[in-house]
A and B are shown apart, each in its own frame.
Chain A
């Protein structure tokens, strides 16, 4: 899946992979990255690794700002995909805290083979995003879950449908069910507190604040009929049963 030359070409190592990942994320967020920014972010001395990446034509430097070359971008996408698949595995299967998944994945991703990654992704049902809501590169676009995003990745004032609630104990699921927070239920995202704070949703006439970790495990899909009312919709002859 990826060129073996990278692995046999010294000095190839984790730091170089981290540099490519950092550049890929910066590109995703459209933030320019300088050598100093990078050194601060990775908290390591980079000179030899960066020099090697430049000499391999994976990274280019323009007036102090670093950028990925097309070859570098292709390589970084593979790494980014691996990192985010590993994160999903950590939260969805192993039950690790959403907030800790990132640093754990940083540690593990370098040892995961392409084959292992493909198996993990298949087991997870080819997820489209990482637990934090960032897209997983090269996820199959037609998978059922591809269109699902976590509640945390929603913008405020959008109306969405809960698709599923992942990795909750049966008790927690039943507790949410008593509040009406169930799959296929329509909610409106009202407010997302900054700095990793809770997400406030409206369900009918009730407002609930949901902690960020929980919200990250509530997967939502687009409302196909966004004009429909949350309550009091088309009450016709319902034939109440008593």
Chain B
């Protein structure tokens, strides 16, 4: 089995490595941030879309590497994040694993803890969210829990740093102890299930022990036996390839069949059931609850998912969100443009003039280094950054799950489940991060449908053209009309794709959890990492595109596209020929379509063409803004589509939107007379 050194590669020169594991929403990120501060990096696990966070902390004079594993409910081969969580600790065993458990729901959280113990890994359990447990009237008997699990257990409130020092201390102790334990000797604290299951595990472990080959990941015979009996896809495959593997698999099937004949379900379901039962027993023994209290956050959460209160709340929330985004974004964009023109643009222009003089090359360089970089940042900082911050707040408060719950029925008709609504919302800010966000969808079918709908969603740049072009010159009804037509087309496209594309989309299976106050450091980190990814993807494309467009424009080559575009632009859409050229330019930045139009109009018609209405009718402006809204948004979006879905699909989506824009634009022209 190939071993990848992802952890050592990201955490060199450390005395000790500790991995953080746990269910989603147990405060793992808060603990990670508290331990590592700002000095952390995120990297995708090789060949996977799931990311791991790496950081270093100092404790007692030791440099400790911290790996933040993906939050999962279980370990296994069932989903990519579960695979990564397991592979990361098996391929590169950390000195200790801190498993965080939610004090308000020990029963469900201990399932994962028991799975780690089944694997024979050195564990320390942190019972986190102790403050929330207290509010709900729950007390946890830590000593009893530690006694039952036979591992150190530390109560923590990660958001406030309570118990964190004790936790790290315990983990270091565990790590030192772990190193002394001889490899291959089964750990003492593996959970024991009922006698029937234990007999099956022992029988299979005996077969495994006699096998001549090295076991995958150097697993103990017991751990491997459990995984084979649970029909774990990855380990079953790995065992098939080793000498003696066929005997092991045959024995596993035989043992599973014998139990199935008695209990009526295969071991792959019976063992998880037994693990849940054990988790429940341990949780019950350690938990006591006085009168069940429902804190305000829980009551608020219940209102947010009742349709009668939840839907008005959702509508109000979205209106507030976008109003804030456009208001704050618009103000910041204006301020940024002013700042750029006053302080950044002049030195760039001076440097370019120094190198290239007044030549065409100099003008082309300015297209890229001045206007290009400004363009990426002017959309990026005000709109994308603000949007990401708001999105992180929605996610970390738990409200995103309420939204997904309410809109699942609608999204289902578009071939997606409720959680995909988040991408469409993100797309209204900027399509690039929204398409990156489709990674969380499990099937390719869902990713293609979601990406296509995101591409049709008017981002802030396109909304600027609708507002500043159509609404300004042709009346607000024109602007509202374009938005309504677009919304209709998004729904029609979703319904159509859902019917046409083979296969079916996954059903929603989502944990719902009451509202929680987001941790500022976690929100800031999330926002920053997403923003960085946006800049790294968008900036090079915008820069290169700007040079190419600059060269086409400054050398006059652009005008040769006029003739081939004329039949569509003049003949079918009824627009001036130069409008077609600006649609090419607008693939750099959609909001510049208007500006390009005015610039080219001045060249074509001479001065006096600085008002759109002097050479276009309101109907033409409507058609122009509509077409601009619908066709493939921009080069950066295309680049990210290509990266996420492959060249063919990206071209397919681009061609679809161009055809859609031309057809709908033409229909609009004839409908308006």
Contacts and interface: CB of A to CB of B under 8 A. Distances in A.
Interface of A: 97, 99, 170-171, 173-180, 182-183, 191, 193-198, 200, 203-214, 231-233, 235, 238, 240-242
Nearest to A195: B409
B406 A204 contact: no
B408 to A, nearest CB: 5
B507 interface: yes
Given A208-B509, A211-B408, A235-B284, A174 B273 contact: no
B417 A211 contact: yes
Contact of B507 (A179, A183, A204, A213): A213
A181 to B, nearest CB: 8
B373 to A, nearest CB: 44
- The 8 lowest CB-CB distance pairs between A and B, nearest first, are A241-B192, A211-B507, A178-B74, A211-B508, A197-B409, A214-B507, A205-B105, A207-B512
A167 to B, nearest CB: 12
25 contacts: A176-B509, A178-B272, A182-B276, A193-B406, A193-B408, A197-B405, A198-B409, A200-B305, A203-B108, A204-B280, A205-B108, A206-B108, A209-B405, A209-B510, A209-B512, A211-B408, A211-B418, A211-B507, A211-B508, A211-B509, A231-B107, A231-B284, A235-B284, A242-B148, A242-B192
Contacts of B510: 198, 208-209
A175 B408 contact: no
Nearest to B308: A194
B404 A207 contact: no
Given A193-B406, A204-B280, A206-B105, A182 B269 contact: yes
Nearest to B307: A194
A93 B105 CA distance: 38
A209 B407 CA distance: 12
Interface residues of B, number: 59
A194 B120 CA distance: 46
B79 A207 contact: no
A222 to B, nearest CB: 20
A235 B283 CA distance: 10
A231 B109 CA distance: 14
B73 A178 contact: yes
A178 B305 contact: no
Interface in B146-192: 148-150, 189-192
Contact of B105 (A173, A204, A209, A235): A204
B507 A180 contact: no
A142 B654 CA distance: 59
A238 B281 contact: yes
B284 A232 contact: yes
Given A174-B269, A178-B111, A196-B412, A208 B512 contact: yes
A210 B417 CA distance: 10
Interface string B498-517: 00000010011111110000
A31 to B, nearest CB: 22
Contacts of B107: 204-206, 231
B409 A196 contact: yes
A210 B508 contact: yes
Nearest to A234: B284
B599 interface: no
A241 B189 contact: no
A24 to B, nearest CB: 27
Given A179-B108, A205-B105, A208-B512, 8 more contacts: A177-B268, A177-B273, A182-B273, A193-B405, A204-B105, A206-B108, A211-B507, A242-B148
A180 B265 contact: no
Contact of A208 (B276, B283, B404, B511): B511
B101 to A, nearest CB: 12
Contacts of A203: 108
Contact of A209 (B76, B108, B190, B404): B404
Given A200-B512, A206-B105, A231-B107, A242 B406 contact: no
Contacts of A198: 405, 408-409, 418, 508, 510
Contacts of B150: 242
A209 B511 CA distance: 6
Contact of B78 (A171, A214, A238): A171
A175 B269 contact: no
Interface in B363-411: 401, 404-406, 408-410
Contact of A205 (B76, B104, B192, B409): B104
B638 to A, nearest CB: 32
B509 A210 contact: yes
A233 B107 CA distance: 13
Contacts of B509: 175-176, 179, 208-211, 214
Contacts of A238: 281, 284-285
Contact of A241 (B191, B406, B513): B191
Interface string B65-95: 0000000011010110000000000000000
A195 B410 CA distance: 8
Contacts of A177: 268-269, 272-273
A183 B273 CA distance: 9
Contacts of A208: 509-512
B311 to A, nearest CB: 9
B617 interface: no
Contacts of B307: 193-194
Nearest to A98: B507
Contacts of A183: 265
A203 B78 CA distance: 21
B269 A206 contact: no
Contacts of A240: 148, 278, 281-282, 285
Contacts of A193: 305, 307, 405-406, 408-409
Given A240-B148, A241-B192, A180 B111 contact: yes
A56 to B, nearest CB: 39
A116 to B, nearest CB: 27
Contacts of B190: 242
Most B Cβ at <10 Å: residue of A178, A180, A203:
A178
A242 B191 contact: yes
Contacts of B230: 174
A200 B507 contact: no
Nearest to A203: B108
A239 B193 CA distance: 11
A211 B506 CA distance: 9
B287 interface: yes
B140 to A, nearest CB: 12
A209 B191 contact: no
A197 B272 contact: no
Given A208-B509, A231-B284, A97 B105 contact: no
Contacts of A211: 408, 412, 417-418, 507-509
A178 B282 CA distance: 17
Contacts of B105: 204-206
Most buried by B among A183, A198, A206: A198
B272 A194 contact: no
